[in-house]
Amino acid sequence: MMSPRTRRNLLVVLLVLLALLIAFLLWWFLRPKAAPVVVPPTPNVTQTIPTSTKPTISDVRQQEAAQERVSTASLQTASKIFAERYGSYSAEANFANLTDVLPLMTDAFAKETRAYVATATPPTEYYAVTTHVVTIAVDGEDDAAGTARVTVTTQREEAKGNVQDVSVRYQDLV
């Protein structure tokens, strides 16, 4: 049971809190509202500037440079895919690396590759080569013939016998 003094103190605290709550609510609902800001619309002014429909010399050069960059990037991408897949091999994959890149080969090279795959037998012991492209340089392009000369520098990791017996070498493919 509470003593009369404790009860009185508790009642005083509750009355003070109630008074503060009422004061806050009165302030919240009776405070002046901020006046809305009216922004007058600005008139739209358009100006027509005459332009030439002929491309300038710099426009033509920019387009040629952009086409050359796209062509070079496409060559580099195709070269990287071909070098990494053709150069990688696993005795367990049954020459899948060669058949994967057949669409990227010339007809004559694809014919030679198909003949090799048909007659080759995979080694019986573990053998794997992983090829990573380090750099690619486009040495020249012949748009008329549809050919290009690309030098691809690769890092080849070769494992014979077991996975941990790895030798690393660098090789340039042209």
Within a domain: residue 70?
yes
Contacts of 114 (CB under 8 A, 6+ apart): 102
One digit per residue, pLDDT tens: the chain, 174 residues? 678 889 899 999 999 999 999 999 998 888 877 777 777 777 777 766 666 666 666 776 777 777 776 677 777 888 888 888 888 888 788 888 888 888 888 889 899 989 998 898 888 888 888 898 998 888 887 777 778 888 889 999 998 887 788 888 898 888
Within a domain: residue 36?
no
The pairing of beta strand 126-142 with beta strand 147-161: antiparallel
Within a domain: residue 18?
no
Within a domain: residue 7?
no
Q: Put the strands of the sheet holding 126-142 in their side by side order.
A: 89-90, 126-142, 147-161, 166-173
Domain span at residue 97 reads 64-173
Decide if 117 contacts 99 (C-beta within 8 A).
yes
CATH number, residue 144 = 3.10.450.230
| Alpha carbons 150 and 173: distance in angstroms, whole number | 8
Decide if 130 contacts 157 (C-beta within 8 A).
yes
Within a domain: residue 59?
no
Within a domain: residue 21?
no
Q: Would the pTM count as exceeding 0.85?
A: no
Half-sphere exposure for 4 (CA within 13 Å, toward CB): 0
The tokens 């009185």 sit on which residue? 8
76: helix, coil or strand? helix
Q: Which residues pair with 48 in a beta bridge?
A: none
Number of domains in the chain: 1
